[in-house]
Amino acid sequence: MNLGSASVRLNPFKGCLGPQGDPVPWSPYGRTLPERPVFTLDPLLHAGAYYVQDASAMYVGHVFRSLLPAGGGLRVLDLCAAPGGKTTDLAASLREACGNDFLLVSNEVMRQRAAVLCDNVALWGDPNVVVTSADPAAFARMPGFFDIIVADVPCSGEGMFRKNPRAREEWSPATVDLCVARQRRILADVWPALRQGGILIYSTCTFEERENDGNLQWAAAELGGTLFPPVTGFEGVTQTACGVRLDIGERGEGQWVGALQRSTPAPKGRPLPLEDLHPLRMGVPKGFRKGADLVPNPDYALSMLFDKNEYPCVEADRALALSFLHRDALVLPDAPLGYVVITYCGLPLGFVKNLGRRCNNLHPLGRRIMMDVK
């Protein structure tokens, strides 16, 4: 992969709009682009039409789909989820397989990264995704609750060497030792939350055998699980002892992924309510009261539940869409007064309140485009 290129994954529930390129073999909606555009200046990105994700990282989604049980009602935990690439991939896969009958809990322990995760989940628009910011040990209070846990754990980061010189400088054998111990703690902490017969998908962006095959073998032996055969079948994907490795190259910056099935009974006990984890995002309220006014929730416009018949819509060209995303003052002389939805290529971007001579822009300040859009 040219360092100036990129890969994206299209959102099938928002029309698969967005940059087009060569298909990623293991991702039905993945595309490798011939060059890297300025994504920030594409309104479709802000509408949740696609997500920018390394092609090799999409292999975790392929393993997830390969092992996904039939039927609905699935409860899935994406344990180390920021910035949201795997969460949005899992959400799309679950919605295609289960319709609206699933729950995906997307967790990130670091609060600053969790805020980024919240924004990306909001843009993707799936209402069945709950975002939490809890230590993995907190999920032990939900014994046997999850059917699948995806753990893309912090690692020594050798897959970042090509893009980030600092990652090379920070690497050492001691770093690997630290990562191995931390990864085992994470797996042991969250293991009680996986039901008997449930699936753990474990992945890293390093090539250290001890952090990959070694830790999955440890989990199978110490925690009680049966290893799944590696999910292979693509050029450039190498089978290892317990999983597969994608090296740095034409298809991305590298990934390792393997899976096992829990063979031991989960602890007994009544799972605590999700509310006790203090979720940062749970459901998508339509709005909130401000005096006599019902102010629409900006995230509602981005949600797959949004009904365009509830509000008048103004279809924007690229210049108007970017002005909205920049939080510029807008004038919409032909639009009705009151709350109006700005759309681009038919996809909602968010709300303004049209006052006639000007509009109040309701685009969240934290998502404002900071670049010059003129």
Is 355's pLDDT higher than 60?
yes
Q: Which domain holds residue 299?
A: 285-367
193 and 265 share one domain: yes
Answer whether residue 358 is part of any domain.
yes
Q: Residue 169 — very low, low, confident or very high, per pLDDT cuts 50/70/90?
A: low
Collapsing DSSP to helix, strand or coil, 156 comes out as: coil
Residue type, 75: R
Q: What is the pLDDT of residue 3?
A: 47
232 and 294 share one domain: no
261 and 330 share one domain: no
Please compute the mean of the pLDDT values over residues 35-59 and round it to a whole number: 97
Please compute the mean of the pLDDT values over residues 125-152 and round it to a whole number: 97
Q: Residue 325 — very low, low, confident or very high, per pLDDT cuts 50/70/90?
A: very high
Answer whether residue 372 is part of any domain.
no
Answer whether residue 145 is part of any domain.
yes
Helix, strand, coil tally for the chain in percent (to 5): 30, 25, 40
Out of 251, 274, 297, a domain closes at 274
Answer whether residue 293 is part of any domain.
yes
Taking the alpha carbons of 88, 24, 95, 254 in that order, is the dihedral positive or negative?
negative
Enter the pTM of the model. 0.94
Answer whether residue 89 is part of any domain.
yes
Q: Which helix (H) or strand (E) holds 34?
A: none
How far is 298 from 286, CA to CA, in rounded Å? 8
Answer whether residue 373 is part of any domain.
no
Enzyme catalytic residues = 205
DSSP 281-340: B-S---EEEETTEEEEPHHHHHSTT--GGGS-EEE--HHHHHHHHTT--B--TTSPSEEE
Is 151's pLDDT higher than 90?
yes
pLDDT digits (tens, 9 = 90+) for 249-289: 878 889 999 999 999 999 999 888 898 898 999 999 999 98
Q: What CATH code is carried by the domain that includes residue 226?
A: 3.40.50.150
Q: What is the count of structural domains for the chain?
A: 2
Q: What is the pLDDT of residue 1?
A: 40
Q: Residue 292 — very low, low, confident or very high, per pLDDT cuts 50/70/90?
A: confident
Answer whether residue 300 is part of any domain.
yes
Out of 226, 253, 274, a domain closes at 274
Out of 274, 305, 333, a domain closes at 274
Q: What is the pLDDT of residue 374?
A: 80
